[in-house]
């Protein structure tokens, strides 16, 4: 459902001593409520739009039926501006107070202590009645080294995984755009799951809100390198980036989106994304023959087409790409592979991030030895590329690159805290 919201229907009856039976339509939910007395009744349904109708045969003569709908919209779906506009569209007022409420909540993760002038108390109440602050449930895994993986309930027994990664002076949050992934990369645990669900923008933003407000962690950078192919869920990812920048206060330069090489969406990203948002491309092979073996996406868009999309992103000389390269023993780790990769990247503004293969539930590959990794990195540097070797973190809780989706072997416990929940 996009966005999350509940629906309140208020039913007003006169001369209702005989009672009137109300129900929701089959497409929304199956709740039934019988009113035996007059007054005002309220039904809250967890459905996109609950259509309430009088049951045929239960319409006492002379009754007057009136209804009004209130859409409760998740605050995590909106930027500050769009939230204020939505409130104004519903109430015909309240734009300024909605902006203030939004900013207060996003900074603190609660509305406790939010005050308005006495004459605006009723308006504040009307805004709160229309706003959902609730986050999904989550459970947490913690590694001694400080890496934190948390699993977010996405309904229907599905969980998205996110990882907090401590750096020297900053913390990076790796978020998921999907549960599972259809790209089928052979070195990735998530790829073995297949695509189970594409997340809505509010479900993506919720991962950040849980990290910041639920776990109380400072988040300096956000990387879309978790479960899923972000460009396979392009519109929701772009919407989430809008909320992160226009709501939670992250600058575009603090956000990186990684793709396996979905060329048509890379071009859309080049055109539509804020120039400050970074792009990472998972290349992982020096040539088409190897890349087809490890990345099925290469059968649709070969490396020449991928390079063309990268060149278009870099055009103008102001943007560069982070090239991700998972090193697999005997597959793509030779010095010849390094030279071939260097030649492939020639003419592009890139820096290279080498990632030693991380263990899977059922390993198809193995990481190279440390001496091989260092030799590969040295060769890339000799070819003129800024090259970094990613430090492995979170392996023991299956939180490292390529391991998400492997929660069966780790110790977990339930976190029941939900931040900022407002009861009607």
**401 noted as active-site residue:** yes
Beta-bridged to residue 181, according to DSSP, are 194
User: What span, in angstroms and rounded, lies between the C-alpha atoms of 149 and 191?
Assistant: 19
With beta carbons less than 8 A apart as the criterion, state whether 179 and 160 touch.
yes
Q: Is 227 helix (H, G, I), strand (E, B) or coil?
A: coil
Please count the other Cβ atoms lying within 10 Å of the Cβ belonging to residue 16.
18
Task: Using DSSP bridges, classify how beta strands 171-174 and 221-224 pair: parallel, antiparallel or unpaired.
Answer: parallel
| Beta strands in 19-170, from DSSP E residues, in sequence order | 20-24, 32-35, 39-45, 52-54, 66-74, 131-132, 138-142, 148-153, 159-166
N-term to C-term CA, the chain: 21
* DSSP state at residue 191: H
Helices (H), 247-287: 263-272
Q: Of 181, 188, 245, 401, which one is the catalytic site residue?
A: 401
Task: For residue 211, give the DSSP letter.
Answer: I
How far, in Å, CA of 76 to CA of 240, rounded? Answer: 9
Cis peptide before 121 (omega within 30 of 0): no
Percentage helix, strand, coil, to 5, in the chain?
35, 25, 40
DSSP for 294-349, written as a single string: H-GGGGTS-HHHHHHHHHHHHTTSS--EEEEEEE-TTTS-SHHHHHHHHHHTTTS-
d(CA 273, CA 339): 32
Q: What is the DSSP letter of 113?
A: T
Q: Which residues are catalytic?
A: 401
């Amino acid at each position: 459902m996009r966005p999350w919201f509940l629906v309140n229907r208020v039913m007003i009856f006169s001369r209702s001593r005989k009672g009137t039976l109300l129900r929701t339509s089959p497409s929304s939910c199956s709740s039934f409520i019988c009113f035996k007395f007059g007054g005002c009744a309220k039904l809250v349904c967890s459905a996109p739009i609950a259509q309430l109708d009088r049951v045929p045969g239960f319409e006492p003569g002379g009754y007057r039926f009136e209804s009004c709908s209130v859409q409760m919209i998740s605050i995590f779906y909106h930027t500050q501006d769009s939230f204020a506009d939505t409130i104004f569209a519903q109430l015909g007022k309240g734009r300024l107070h909605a902006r203030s409420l939004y900013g207060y909540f996003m900074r603190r993760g609660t509305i406790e202590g939010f005050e308005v002038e006495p004459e605006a108390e009723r308006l504040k109440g009307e805004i709160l009645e229309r706003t959902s602050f609730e986050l999904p449930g989550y459970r947490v895994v913690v590694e001694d080294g400080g890496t934190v993986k948390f699993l977010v309930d996405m309904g229907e027994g599905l969980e998205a995984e996110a990882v907090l990664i401590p750096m020297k002076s900053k913390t990076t949050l790796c978020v998921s755009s999907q549960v599972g992934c259809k790209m089928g990369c052979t070195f990735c645990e998530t790829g073995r799951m297949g695509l189970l669900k594409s997340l809505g923008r509010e479900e993506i933003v919720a991962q950040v809100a849980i990290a910041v407000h639920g776990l109380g962690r400072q988040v300096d950078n956000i990387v879309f390198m978790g479960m899923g192919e972000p460009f396979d869920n392009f519109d929701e990812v772009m919407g989430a980036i809008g909320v992160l920048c226009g709501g939670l206060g992250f600058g575009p330069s603090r956000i990186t989106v990684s793709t396996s090489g979905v060329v048509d969406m890379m071009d859309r990203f080049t055109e539509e994304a804020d120039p400050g948002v970074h792009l990472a491309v998972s290349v992982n092979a020096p040539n088409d023959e190897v890349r087809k073996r490890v990345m099925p996406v290469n059968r649709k868009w070969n490396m020449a087409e991928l390079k063309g999309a990268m060149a278009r992103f870099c055009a103008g000389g102001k943007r560069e790409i982070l090239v991700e390269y998972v090193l697999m023993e005997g597959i793509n780790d030779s010095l010849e592979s390094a030279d071939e990769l260097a030649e492939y990247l020639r003419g592009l503004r890139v820096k290279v991030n080498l990632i030693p293969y991380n263990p899977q539930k059922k390993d198809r590959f193995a990481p190279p030895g440390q001496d091989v990794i260092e030799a590969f990195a040295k060769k890339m540097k000799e070819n003129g590329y800024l090259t970094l070797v990613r430090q492995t973190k979170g392996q023991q809780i299956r939180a490292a690159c390529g391991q998400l989706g492997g929660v069966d072997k780790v110790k977990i416990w339930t976190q029941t805290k939900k931040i900022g929940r407002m009861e009607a």
